[in-house]
Chain A
Amino acid sequence: MIRGLYTAISQLDAQLRRQELLAHNLANIGTPGFKQTLLAQAERARLGLWRLGDPALILPVGPLGTGTALEPAAIDLNPGPLVETGEPLDLAVDGPGFFVVQRPDGPAYTRDGTFFVDAEGFLTTAAGDRVLGEDGPIRVGNSDFSVASDGTIFVGEAAVGRLRLADLSGAPGLIRVGDNLLRPADPAFQPPQAGGEVRQGVIEESNVNLTETVAQLLVAMRAYQAAQRLVLLADSTLDRAIQQLGRWD
């Protein structure tokens, strides 16, 4: 009975975490270049029960479930829809590549091409991190620029750099840095050069699927409620065991 309590609690934990991750996806439904978290849940390892005692009679009794847990969250790298904005500072990658930006603690990767130009003329993200080209940060200076589909940035007729595009699909795991940035979980992983066509005046929207995510959230809430009832049920069974079975007049 106590075991049933813990099994129900494992489901409460899993469904709570699931709700948190789904709420994070939904809060970022309007964040350009956002990559949603994918959720997978699995049964915890089952235990085998064996009857002990007489060494000649050690027999299996059967399996024993120990509940459930969320698997480590994966990040869905599928592209979001590309939307035309006509703004020269909006860039998007049509293909698998990620833009590379310079953070104080090393490079980070994003699909959010809502760029700005800082006071020194460097191309930056909304958070102010500089966008890296193949030869370091890209300086567009004070003039209008155009971007060729291979990522080369032209100011007038002169090429000032070529956007670095990284392929994260081979990374063993990705972590969220914030500011729409991702980074491989293993710092030693060097993402290879990625293909992809860079488009100017286009932005990539969030890849969160609204209907599916809302449905998942509703299911998670109901599963949470059901697990709550299970806790109560286990509790009242225990109560009965203590109050009624344990009483003798």
Chain B
Amino acid sequence: MLPVMTTALSGALAYQATLDEVAHNLANLSTPAFRPTRLALAEAAEGGVIPAARRLSARPGPLAETGAPFDMALPGPGFFRVRLPDGNYAYTRRGDFRVDGTGRLVTHGGLPLDPEIRIPPDRRVEVRPDGTVVTFGPDGAEAVLGRLEVFTFDRPENLVPLGGGLFREPAGETGLTGLAGPAQPQAVVTGYLEMSAVDLTGEFARLIQAQRAYVLNLNIIRDQDRLLGEAIELARG
């Protein structure tokens, strides 16, 4: 009876992990630029099932108009680069930027963009489609403040999520270095945000399936326990 219990336990654990993942995906239904992940389950040779690997969705979310001057979306597959407090780089597609107290353009979490862009106070600022940020003086003279660089990855689905829509390059894997692309005429769309790529219907279907499978495996454990208890009772005579 015990192999049945360990098999059912492996099932309960695998579907628990799936439920956790689906819950995380659903919780980020309205997080800009969020990409859902999917846990791949694999049959275990010794019986049961194990979570084998996790894959980030390769599908971008839809773009939605917000009209905010520092909301930016990337129509291509690239990423913005930010600098973490520890000096390392992280990458994000989430473009709801704001200007912090020191005038830097930062993410919603307050991380400065890299290369850094400083916005002078009380000036009209415009972000061009190629990513160039320009400002206008009182006399209408145009001054370039910098360019939003878009970094592309060979295999974005292998990036390691850090939370908060940030990703880092996986350690020790070649071909996964962020490369600053050449200036492109349509790199950035201003006044738009990339919405969450979570597919509500699909995630709900997975939720129901995983929940049913979880309960089912737990019931097997409970029934086996009962059977074992009865066997012990019978043997007592």
Contacts and interface: CB of A to CB of B under 8 A. Distances in A.
A126 B216 contact: no
A114 B40 CA distance: 7
B145 interface: no
B49 A127 contact: no
Given A20-B3, A30-B213, A232-B234, A87 B58 contact: yes
B7 A31 contact: no
A122 B43 CA distance: 23
A194 interface: no
Contact of B43 (A178, A225, A228): A178
A121 B7 contact: no
Nearest to B51: A126
B138 interface: no
Interface string A60-75: 0000000000000000
Nearest to A16: B1
A88 B237 CA distance: 61
A210 B209 CA distance: 11
A127 B58 contact: no
A100 interface: no
A28 B18 CA distance: 13
Contacts of A23: 3-4, 7-8, 11, 47-48, 220
A31 B55 CA distance: 15
Contacts of A28: 11, 41, 43, 48-49
B44 A126 contact: no
Nearest to B57: A87
22 contacts: A20-B3, A20-B4, A24-B7, A24-B43, A26-B216, A27-B48, A27-B217, A28-B11, A30-B18, A30-B41, A31-B43, A86-B59, A86-B199, A114-B40, A114-B55, A116-B55, A127-B42, A141-B154, A142-B175, A210-B212, A210-B216, A228-B234
Interface of A: 16, 19-20, 23-24, 26-32, 34, 85-89, 112, 114, 116-117, 119-121, 126-127, 141-143, 176-180, 210, 214, 217, 221, 224-225, 228-229, 232
Given A114-B55, A179-B52, 13 more contacts: A20-B4, A26-B11, A27-B10, A27-B14, A31-B41, A31-B49, A89-B55, A116-B53, A117-B157, A119-B175, A121-B175, A126-B40, A221-B227
